Amino acid sequence: MPTITEKIIQAHLSEGALQRTKPIAIHIDQTLTQDATGTMTYLQLEAMGVDQVKTDLSISYVDHNTLQNGFENADDHKYLQTVAMKHGVLFSRPGNGICHQVHLERFAKPGTTLLGSDSHTPTAGGIGALAIGAGGLDVACAMAGRPFHLAMPEIINVRLHGRLSKGVSSKDIILKILQILSVKGGVGKVIEYSGDGVKNLSIPQRATITNMGAELGATTSIFPSDEVTKEFLRKQQREEDYKELFADDDACYDQIIELDLEKLEPMIAMPHSPDNVLTVSEVAGLKVDQVAIGSCTNSSYLDMMSVANILKGKMIDSNVSLVISCGSRQVLHTLSSNGGLATMIASGARILESTCGPCIGMGQSPISNALSLRTFNRNFYGRSGTLSAKVCLVSPETAAASALAGYLVDPRTIDYELPKEPNTLNIDDRMILIPNEETAKTTKLVRGPNIKPLPINTPLDHEIHKKVIIKVGDNITTDHIAPAGAKVLPYRSNIEKISEFIFMNVKADFHDDCLANNGGFIVAGSNYGQGSSREHAALAPMYLGIKAVFAKSFARIHRANLINFGILPLTFQEESDYDAIDEFDELMIDNLHNLHPDTPLTVSNTTKNTHFLVNHNLTYLEIETIKAGGTLNLIRLQQSTT
Ligand code: MIC
Ligand code: SF4
């Protein structure tokens, strides 16, 4: 009877039972980090006093902050390399590729659990791994051998039928699902794929779909592991990692969505949300200024070869800037051997290194008021670095065809050759450093001046009386809270500095108002904290004295991050209570030392002389964590009593 998700969870269960929405804990087999979240993760691992990681495999990728326009990025990389070699973590050097693409190619295994300090960790669901994105502290805990806590997800079954038509890609499948479910439709859920259409999708195509499950807010997404998976692993010279994995025929799902691939059209997510989806044909003809191809969503060999085949023998439009980044050194190297890269260069494409690059605003900000077509997964306001730009998300085929034309083109209307799977791949893992006993003994940690000590919260007060520093609406992303981009990312290891940028594009005074009022509260609408797993969006507000967030609802990873750093995540019982609060109202919460699961809290608005009830939905463990002032404090308390 079990689904794929239930099979993997059952095999890894360390606490609880498989009852939907109830708290469970699972053993984690593999972890991954990337540099933008990794420095904090390893500082936290060090703070826990862990000598050697306890997982089957932990790997640290450097793929986000690679501009190095100053010493900060390079210093972070050196710290990451040394801390990895000291504590038994593999290290994928800058240039080796984007974490999710490399992990899919070289390490992800069907049937295993993977926890990554990046929200797109579910990319590995394409190969049948239960791959979950989390805050860095949760990943550090997993490396320390602790189980990962989550609510047993509900499971949505998406049944794919038939085969995609030429010009329609797996990106269009996930954009269609986003149109159906929206950016909060997956919260607390796993999206499990099945149907006769699955066998017609390659592993990277499946991974594009599970990658953008993050945009649904889903806990993760997963595909079966079948003959296609086996063949992919064989080409990657790791057939021994194959394990067949299907849901039972009578598996029970909470919701079923049927999708006919033959009827699907090219889709486009319009600004500024991945669920603002239309068909390309509805908006074809829009003038395009920039096209960016790559990111962990669409940078596989087949994606790149579709692009090369479309560009072949043609020149891009004179008003379009086309940038391309391959997802991994393996893809780039293979393209350089088979002529695909030469085709791209000849067409006028600007080739970037195999990193996240423009996806996280590390360069290539488009011109003012631009329409930028990107094969990425997020088009949140401001993420490209140009506030006035309109970023749309499309498939590689739509992107390449539009780069040639200078306007948005439905790729079904053009002629090109469909790419074929390569016979051989350039497999070369020498950019991945492997730790051993010797490196553990002899490596000296290198901590550059930008790497500042971890700020730690104080235990929870019994009564908190503070002002509302900011009130925001629905679907606030962690990009709104803690923006990325070339100016900010170098400070990911320096919380004092990064706290100056919190809510920068929403309310520029947020930082100063926090300081002037000795911290305060945040009030938000639904799905607060969607998007990136960056724990800086909790850690920096904590540093500024934020004690609680009152929201209509929370995104999963951000809620966990708030708890990890001792900030109360509270939900309104009534919409009208949200409406009645204004910025700078003073709120008072008391009786906090008597927090109990399922018991609401009474909040007094002392400015307006009113009261309202909020839920906290905290488990016993989460209550202990918040009371201690966060996970690290709780671990220290536990260590001092054993
Ligand atoms: C993103 O796509 O937003 C990021 C950058 O990869 C983040 C992680 C980060 O902020 O460092 C994510 O997806 O979790
Ligand atoms: Fe990197 Fe973009 Fe993928 Fe995040 S979404 S991991 S920034 S490529």
Q: What is the mean pLDDT of the chain?
A: 97
Gap between the Cα atoms of 429 and 420, Å rounded: 24
Q: What is the pLDDT of residue 636?
A: 93
Task: Answer whether residue 585 shows pLDDT above 90.
Answer: yes
Q: Indicate which residue's Cα is closest to atom 11 of ligand 1.
A: 36
Q: Which CATH number fits domain 4-263: 3.50.50.60, 3.40.50.1820, 3.20.20.140, 3.30.499.10?
A: 3.30.499.10
Residue type, 539: L
The response to whether residue 36 sits with its C-beta less than 6 Å from ligand 2 reads: no
Q: For strands 568-572 and 546-551, give the pairing.
A: parallel
pLDDT band at 18 (very low <50, low <70, confident <90, very high): very high
Task: Answer whether residue 6 shows pLDDT above 90.
Answer: yes
> Please, which contacts does 8-14 make with residues 24 or more away whose CB atoms are closer than 8 Å?
8/111, 8/112, 8/113, 8/130, 8/222, 8/245, 9/130, 9/152, 11/111, 12/113, 12/130, 14/147
Going by C-alpha positions, the residue among 536, 354, 548 that lies closest to residue 464 is 548
> In the annotation, is 118 catalytic?
yes
**Against a cut of 0.95, is the pTM above it?**
yes
Task: Answer whether residue 616 shows pLDDT above 90.
Answer: yes
> In the annotation, is 430 catalytic?
no
Average pLDDT of the segment spanning 523-542 = 98
640 vs 445 pLDDT, higher one: 445
Residue in 29, 76, 118, 172 annotated catalytic: 118
**SS3 call for 42:** helix
Q: What is the pLDDT of residue 28?
A: 99
Residue in 103, 378, 480, 511 annotated catalytic: 378
Q: For strands 220-222 and 277-279, give the pairing.
A: unpaired
Contacts of 198 (CB under 8 A, 6+ apart): 160, 206, 223, 224, 226, 228
Nearest ligand to the C-alpha atom of residue 76: 1
DSSP string, 290-306: EEEE-TTTS-SHHHHHH
Task: Answer whether residue 628 shows pLDDT above 90.
Answer: yes
Nearest ligand to the C-alpha atom of residue 376: 2
Q: What is the pLDDT of residue 502?
A: 98
- In DSSP terms, 155 is beta-bridged to 190
Question: Which pLDDT tens digit goes with each residue over 197-242?
Answer: 999 999 999 999 999 999 999 999 999 999 999 999 999 999 999 9
Q: What is the pLDDT of residue 424?
A: 86
Q: What share of the chain has pLDDT > 90, as a percent?
A: 98
- In DSSP terms, 160 is beta-bridged to 259
Do the beta carbons of residue 529 and residue 474 sit within 8 Å?
Answer: no
Q: What share of the chain has pLDDT > 70, as a percent?
A: 100
Q: For strands 148-151 and 130-133, give the pairing.
A: unpaired
> In the annotation, is 63 catalytic?
yes
Q: What is the pLDDT of residue 516?
A: 98
CATH 3.30.499.10 applies to domain 267-412: yes
Residue in 12, 77, 534, 559 annotated catalytic: 534
The response to whether residue 53 sits with its C-beta less than 6 Å from ligand 2 reads: no
Gap between the Cα atoms of 539 and 567, Å rounded: 9
Going by C-alpha positions, the residue among 30, 193, 34 that lies closest to residue 126 is 193
Q: What is the pLDDT of residue 423?
A: 85
Residue in 170, 526, 532, 533 annotated catalytic: 532
Average pLDDT of the segment spanning 490-511 = 97
Question: Which pLDDT tens digit goes with each residue over 302-353?
Answer: 999 999 999 999 999 999 999 999 999 999 999 999 999 999 999 999 999 9
Q: What is the pLDDT of residue 641?
A: 80
pLDDT band at 486 (very low <50, low <70, confident <90, very high): very high
- Most informative mutation of 76, 211, 360 for ligand 1 (most atoms within 8 A of CB): 360
> In the annotation, is 378 catalytic?
yes
Q: For strands 321-325 and 350-352, give the pairing.
A: parallel
Average pLDDT of the segment spanning 276-299 = 98
Task: Answer whether residue 642 shows pLDDT above 90.
Answer: no
pLDDT band at 1 (very low <50, low <70, confident <90, very high): confident
pLDDT band at 195 (very low <50, low <70, confident <90, very high): very high
Q: What is the pLDDT of residue 203?
A: 98
Please state whether the peptide bond connecting residue 272 to the residue before it is cis, i.e. omega within 30 degrees of 0: yes
Class of domain 464-640: alpha beta
pLDDT band at 40 (very low <50, low <70, confident <90, very high): very high
Gap between the Cα atoms of 641 and 636, Å rounded: 9
Ligand 1 neighbours, Cβ below 6 Å, are 36-37, 64, 118-120, 133, 360, 378, 484, 531-534
Q: How far is the CA of 91 from the centre of ligand 1 (A)?
A: 19
Average pLDDT of the segment spanning 455-476 = 97
Q: What is the pLDDT of residue 619?
A: 97
DSSP string, 561-577: HHHHTT-EEEEES-HHH
Q: What is the pLDDT of residue 43?
A: 97
Question: CATH 3.30.499.10 residue ranges in the chain?
Answer: 4-263, 267-412
Q: How far is the CA of 479 from the centre of ligand 1 (A)?
A: 9
pLDDT band at 510 (very low <50, low <70, confident <90, very high): very high
Ligand 2 atom with least separation from CA of 360: 7
Ligand 2 atom with least separation from CA of 99: 6
Question: Which pLDDT tens digit goes with each residue over 403-426?
Answer: 999 999 999 999 999 999 888 899
